[in-house]
């Protein structure tokens, strides 16, 4: 199979119409300073403060200042920040967060794909903090942290009732320092009761991590295989470079593996999907401030349209990876194989405030081209294949051997028997 129409690599632009706002699509506040998910930039209308009775706020403010043991040591800016954080926390949305200037600096580094931490993503499932995925070749993966692990304690402190951002603060840290996580597989937690032996104590040494989100390996000489572990600023370029190498072979089809992919830049997922969809809409966003907006790739051709494609997904494929899978499924451009996806279909905006703080705020939900809502629903595969792994299998570092990966086996068979 020849492949002549692949476009040259292009940078994913983060130039803005308004430099204070960045649209991001997030499945998780990324545990231990993992990369954060993002995308296009745009401006929002400023709105006036609502006419509400703020007397209670000032009464509490006065009581804290005059009666609290440590009230007099606080500065007015501390009260203001606490009030602002209260406004955000009132949303009861784990994906809406007010970052301090110090946290904002770390967040910006994460957007660039370099950070210090353990390298894993967190989400909330069934009310508890759960590992979406450890990033490949990171301290988290090497130490044995696995997708589906529920974090019970950080350095001996119970974190099951804390917000995601507070858990992140406890786990992140400088390279070379140690953190101990007490975890339990989600399956064990779902039992009516679990015993102490179900809990694993995982000691992890934090490191400086450079994220590589695209990789390939030889699965079958007749099939091209590309794994996307996330969508960051380099993913589109890296995908195209990798795709060029894969397509040099006379292959019969492609397998795109987004299992354990927590998401990433909205624009990156849209541009990669566009290699199959062309100029057709990839995702539709709906929200009170933006109305209804279709995200369309910046291209007219569709060089991968017609190439047999399988997209591999699982319970921890989320956000931007669900956008890719949902669009290709809607247009019947790929067969989706694996397990139902995570179901993260909300969009966050990132706003820079005057003091250097950042506000990450959920402002919309997204829908597939056929107007399917994925939030809390997920993408149902065309071919459902559960991956039943033993505890020994779950401790394997790196990709599963093909002999144990029944989902990948099914993808290969599907293409080769067409």
Q: Supply the pLDDT for residue 254.
A: 98
The mean pLDDT of 40-57, rounded to a whole number, is 55
Measure the CA–CA gap between 40 and 76, rounded to whole angstroms.
35
Mean pLDDT for 398-418 is 92
What is the number of alpha carbons within 13 Å of residue 266 lying toward its C-beta?
Answer: 30
Mean pLDDT of all residues in 291-296: 94
Amino acid 159: pLDDT:
93
Q: What confidence tens digit (pLDDT) does each residue in 162-201 have? A: 888 889 889 989 999 999 999 998 767 665 455 666 788 9
Q: What is the pLDDT of residues 117-147, one digit of tens each?
A: 998 888 877 788 889 888 878 999 999 998 8
Q: Greater confidence, 393 or 241?
A: 241
CA distance 41 to 209: 26
Indicate the pLDDT class of residue 359, thresholds 50, 70 and 90. very high
- With tokens 């599907």, the residue in question is 414
Q: State residue 179's pLDDT score.
A: 97
Mean pLDDT, rounded, of the chain: 82
State both tokens at 154. 């950080």
pLDDT of residue 203: 96
> What is the model's pLDDT at position 3?
37
* Dist. CA 106–CA 95, nearest whole Å: 17
Mean per-residue pLDDT, 206-234: 91
Q: Is the dihedral of CA 16, 318, 263, 88 positive or negative?
A: positive
Provide the pLDDT for residue 195.
Answer: 60
Q: Domains plus CATH for the chain?
A: 1-45+57-114+212-418 (3.90.226.10), 115-210 (2.30.42.10)
* The pLDDT of residue 410: 98
pLDDT tens digits for 224-260? Answer: 999 999 998 889 999 999 999 999 998 999 999 999 9
pTM score > 0.95 for this model?
no
Q: Which of 226, 258, 230, 228 is nearest to 25 (CA)?
A: 230
Residues with catalytic roles? 319, 344, 348
Q: Tell me the mean pLDDT in the region 40-67.
A: 66
Is the predicted pLDDT of residue 79 greater than 90, yes or no? no
Closest to 237 in 3D by CA, of 209, 267, 217 = 267
- Where helices occur in 114-185 by DSSP H, the ranges are 139-143, 164-171
Residue 8 confidence (pLDDT):
43
Q: How confident is the model at residue 42 (pLDDT cuts 50, 70, 90)?
A: very low
pLDDT digits (tens, 9 = 90+) for 155-171: 999 998 888 888 988 99
146: left (phi over 0), alpha (psi -120 to 50) or beta: beta
pLDDT for the residue 22: 41
The pairing of strands 97-99 and 178-185 is unpaired
Q: How confident is the model at residue 395 (pLDDT cuts 50, 70, 90)?
A: low
pLDDT at 196: 65
Mean pLDDT check: name the lowest of 197-201, 212-216, 276-280, 293-297. 197-201
Structure tokens at 334: 């790929």
Average pLDDT, stretch 389-408? 80
The Cα 37–Cα 258 span in angstroms is 15
1 versus 211: the higher-pLDDT residue is 211
Q: What percent of the chain lies above the pLDDT cut of 90?
A: 47
Residues contacting residue 165 through CB under 8 Å, at least 6 positions apart: 29, 97, 99
Sequence length of the chain is 418
Higher pLDDT, 328 or 115: 328
Residue range 82-120, pLDDT digits in tens: 888 889 989 988 889 898 888 887 777 666 666 789 988
Q: Do residues 282 and 369 touch, judged by C-beta distance below 8 A?
A: yes
> Rounded CA gap, 329 and 370, in Å?
10
């Amino acid at each position: 199979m020849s492949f002549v129409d692949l476009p040259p690599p292009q940078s994913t632009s983060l130039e803005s119409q308004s430099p204070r706002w960045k649209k991001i699509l997030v499945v998780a506040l990324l545990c231990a300073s993992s990369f954060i998910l993002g995308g296009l930039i745009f401006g929002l209308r400023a709105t006036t403060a609502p006419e509400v009775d703020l007397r209670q706020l000032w009464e509490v403010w006065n009581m804290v200042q005059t009666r609290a043991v440590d009230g007099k040591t606080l500065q007015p800016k501390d009260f203001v920040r606490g009030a602002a954080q209260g406004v955000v926390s009132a949303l009861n949305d784990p994906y809406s967060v007010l970052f301090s200037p110090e946290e904002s600096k770390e967040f910006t580094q994460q957007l660039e794909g370099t950070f210090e931490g353990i390298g894993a993503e967190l989400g909330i499932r069934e009310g508890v903090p759960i590992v979406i995925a450890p990033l490949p070749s990171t301290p988290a993966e090497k130490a044995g942290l696995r997708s589906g692990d529920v974090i019970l304690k950080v350095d001996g402190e119970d974190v099951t009732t804390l917000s995601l951002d507070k858990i992140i603060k406890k786990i992140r840290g400088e390279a070379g320092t140690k953190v101990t996580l007490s975890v339990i597989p989600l399956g064990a937690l779902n039992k009516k009761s679990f015993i102490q032996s179900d809990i694993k104590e995982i000691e992890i040494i934090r490191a400086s991590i450079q994220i590589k989100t695209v990789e390939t390996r030889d699965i079958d000489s007749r099939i091209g295989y590309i794994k996307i572990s996330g969508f960051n600023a380099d993913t589109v370029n890296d995908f195209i470079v990798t795709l060029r190498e894969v397509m040099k072979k006379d292959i019969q089809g492609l397998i795109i593996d987004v299992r354990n992919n927590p998401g990433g830049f909205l624009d990156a997922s849209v541009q990669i999907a566009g290699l199959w969809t062309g100029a057709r809409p990839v995702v539709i966003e709906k929200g009170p401030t933006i109305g209804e907006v279709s995200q369309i790739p910046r291209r007219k051709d569709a060089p991968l349209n017609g190439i047999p494609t399988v997209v591999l997904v699982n319970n921890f494929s989320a956000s931007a990876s669900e956008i890719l899978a949902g669009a290709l499924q809607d247009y019947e451009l790929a067969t989706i194989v694996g397990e139902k996806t995570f179901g993260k279909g909300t969009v966050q905006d990132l706003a820079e405030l005057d003091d250097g703080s950042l506000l990450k705020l959920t402002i919309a939900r997204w829908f597939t081209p056929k107007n399917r809502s994925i939030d809390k629903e997920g993408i149902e595969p065309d071919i459902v294949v559960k991956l039943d792994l033993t505890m020994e299998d779950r401790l394997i570092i790196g990709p599963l051997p093909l002999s144990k990966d029944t989902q990948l086996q099914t993808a290969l068979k599907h293409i080769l028997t067409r």
